[in-house]
Copies of this chain bind each other. A is one copy, B any other.
Amino acid sequence: MTSTTAGPTVPSAPAAPTAAAAVALRPVPLGDSTITSGFWFERMQANRRQAIRTGYEKLETAGNLRNLRIAAGQEQGEVTGPIFMDSDVYKWLEAAGWEYGRQADDEVLGWIREVTDVVAAAQAPDGYLDSVQQVRGKGERYTGLHWSHEHYCAGHLFQAAVAVHRSTGETGLLDVAVKLADHLVATFGAGKTEEVDGHPVVEMGLVELFRETGTREYLDLARWFVDARGHGIIQTKHDAEPTYFSDRVPVREQTSPEGHSVRAVYLTAGAADVAAETGDAELLAALVRQWEGMLASKTYVTGGIGSRWDWEQFGDHYELGPDRAYAETCAAIGSVQWTWRMLLATGDARYADLVERTLYNAFLPGVSLAGTEYFYVNALQLRHGAFPEEERSATHGRRPWFDCACCPPNIMRTLSSLDAYVATSSTDGVQVHQFTTGTVSGAGATLDVTTDYPWDGTVRVQVARTPGEFELALRVPAWAEGAMATVNGSAVEAVPGEYLRVRREFAVGDVVELVLPMTVRVVEADPRVDAVRGCVVVERGPLVYAVEQADLPGGLVADDVRVRVAELRGAQPEHRPDLLEGVTVLQLPVHAALSAATGPLYRPAGDDPAPQGADETLTVPAIPYYAWANRELGAMRVWFPRA
């Protein structure tokens, strides 16, 4: 079932626009952008060594591959698991594909071929493929498309096929994807079956498949799917409430994301792909507006999105409570995918800023440091004594897998393609968006980047190869007030929230250095975020910090930590190589709440608020939020009430 072609036609990276696409920036392929050591490298190594191997095993033990074999007639029995079981296989295949692209590995390639054969065997002669529907649904097709995830699974297959093809050059999975995509093109669209899937992702998948194959019909169908939403199809056909399915408002009219958060941002990511490939400025402008709406009132300080547990939805404006933050790991991934595409389209630094914030503080918390356990939901607060221990672990702790296992392979594919999010190239030169030690090649140049980010703010870029004159752009994060930069030792201006752009005739050995001030920042929220009134967050560099019970002295519970902002600014950083695989902790001056000890739940209010902190000051270490729950599970908070 597996064949080889001459290799990929577009860069080996996710979301690689065609030459004709209306984008400001273009991805740098895996291999041309490499993270070779440091913070993200360690996480990617855990992903390579632990997660992808474990994922391969889970596809077997959780029943995903068995479902496909049953559909193929190779095994007997009933399929198991949720309706979108196939998508876990595809996300894992995508992860394995990108991972192979990072570094060839015969074992991984063997797994890819083996799993590809299972997928291919399950496909119906006319291209249809969805094991659960083929078996449990008795082959009935598209009758409950709002819930059936048939297009959703297809979209993930397309993304996987593109990743495997771009990375390995093998066409086995691509052949399956093309056959299914051709079936979709024959079945859906104007004048055919005019329906949309309840869970977007097929839009991104179809555009990528268009990019890989040049088949224009895939792009046209993606565009049709994007524009078909918000016109009542799901409500009319299935009598279902449209908000959840991103079908209440047309994409071109939406101003603030709503409904199921993963669906919403997968749709906008796909719409951004469509806008790029069709040069649709109106659509892009609508997406800019909606992205700004998300940032204005529906994003956690971590970059996480989707505050409601019920139906995994975006909340109302400013509904961003920390204790019940849903902030699904997949939603963070979807936000990165959307935001990355907005960066490609526009070149605006604010998109790279959000990618950074989200990767460090909303995506990374979703996987344990060992790469073996996951958070589906990312709370920003866990109260002391929430439940007896056995219950708390089950409800709040990291888990090795889930019945609904969308997040683990989604994390895997993101980490295995993370090199691609570091830099881009354009006709002007090379843009470095994220700070990692490694090498970036583009526009004829090669850059060696050295940094101990996020612990240290110095980013050193040395030119290793040069085409002569080009522009080297380095993102200066919006948080980096006081940033400084030098070109071969001479100072240049670095403006937070913009790119430091150095255009010159570069010589090999030239050095551009960016120094981002790693001062402790104390942040508060718009007062309309009721749930964190009177509270502040501590940040340093790109990281949001948390206080976790494991670090507190006896008698002080995380719930009772109170702070004074002026004191927090003097919090001392201390790098602890021994702790949590190496973190810089912040030694926070804190106070213990006096008032939490006793009294009825509701009580007469004084003219002024009761004092919240004792005079005594303790110093307790705060850890980066992403690293919480890697030790004994206990109380944790990110938002600290003022003393």
Render A287-325 as a binary contact track against B, CB cut-off 8 A, 1 for contact: 000000001110101000000111000011111011110
Chain B residues with CB under 8 A of A606: 524, 565
Write the chain B residue with the least CB distance to A525: B602
Q: Among residues 228 to 286 in chain A, which have CB atoms less than 8 Å away from a CB atom of chain B?
A: 241, 243, 248, 258
Partner of A297, one of B297, B315, B323, B601: B601
Out of B383, B528, B535, B605, which one reaches A524, CB within 8 Å?
B605
A309 touches which of B309, B385, B536 (Cβ 8 Å)? B309
**Closest chain B residue to A557, Cβ basis:** B528
Distance of A535 Cα from B639 Cα, bound (Å):
17
Q: Which residues of B contact A603 (CB under 8 A)?
A: 523-526
> Given A309-B310, A385-B317, is A599 in contact with B526 using a C-beta cutoff of 8 Å?
yes
Whether A601 pairs with B522 at a CB distance below 8 angstroms is: no
Is A604 engaged at the interface, CB distance under 8 Å to the other chain?
A: yes
Q: Which residues does chain B contribute within 8 Å of A321, judged by CB atoms?
A: 321, 323-324, 531
Q: In angstroms, how far is the closest chain B Cβ from the Cβ of A599?
A: 7
What is the CA–CA distance of A229 and B612 in the complex, to the nearest angstrom? 41
Count, chain A residues at interface, CB 8 A: 68
> Given A310-B310, A385-B317, A604 and B522 touching (CB < 8 A)?
yes
A602 interface neighbour in B243, B319, B524, B531, Cβ under 8 Å: B524
* Contact residue among B299, B391, B524 (Cβ-Cβ distance under 8 Å from A243): B391
Total copies of the chain: 2
Judging by beta carbons under 8 Å apart, are A386 and B527 in contact? no
Q: Name the residue on B nearest A605 (C-beta).
A: B524
User: Contact between A318 and B526 (Cβ–Cβ < 8 Å)?
Assistant: no
B529 touches A601 (CB 8 A): yes
* Overall SS of chain A's interface: loop
Shortest beta-carbon distance, A551 to chain B, in Å?
A: 20
Q: Taking the complex as formed, is A607 at the interface, i.e. its CB lies under 8 A from any CB of chain B?
A: yes
Known: A316-B386, A528-B559. A609 touches B642 (CB 8 A): yes
Residues from chain B with Cβ under 8 Å of A310 in the complex = 309-310
A132 contacts the other chain (CB 8 A): no
Does A593 make an interface contact (CB < 8 A)? yes
A386→B530 CA distance, assembly (Å): 14
Contact B601 A565 (CB under 8 A): no
A381 within 8 A of B: yes
Flag whether A394 is at the interface (Cβ < 8 A).
yes
Residues of B within 8 A of A535 (CB): 530, 533
A181 CB-CB contact with B under 8 Å: no
A359 to chain B, nearest CB (A): 17
- Chain B residue numbers with a CB within 8 Å of A258 are 387
Tell me, yes or no, whether A641 is within 8 Å of chain B by CB: yes
Per-residue CB contact flags for chain A residues 596-617 toward chain B (1 = under 8 Å, else 0) read 1001111111111110100000
CB-nearest residue of chain B to A255: B388
Does the CB pair A383–B316 fall under 8 Å? yes
Q: Is the CB of A596 within 8 A of B528?
A: yes
Q: Nearest Cβ distance between residue A639 and chain B, in whole angstroms?
A: 8
Contacts of A524 in B (CB 8 A): 602-606, 609-610
Residues of A within 8 A of B (CB): 241, 243, 248, 258, 295-297, 299, 301, 308-310, 315-319, 321-324, 381, 383, 385-387, 391, 394, 521-537, 559, 564-566, 593, 595-596, 599-610, 612, 639, 641-642
23 CB-based A-B contacts, threshold 8 Å? A241-B394, A258-B387, A295-B600, A295-B601, A296-B601, A309-B310, A317-B385, A318-B383, A318-B559, A321-B321, A321-B531, A323-B531, A324-B324, A381-B530, A383-B528, A523-B605, A524-B602, A525-B603, A527-B596, A527-B641, A528-B559, A534-B609, A537-B602
Q: Which 3 A-B pairs have the closest CB atoms?
A: A316-B386, A309-B310, A524-B605
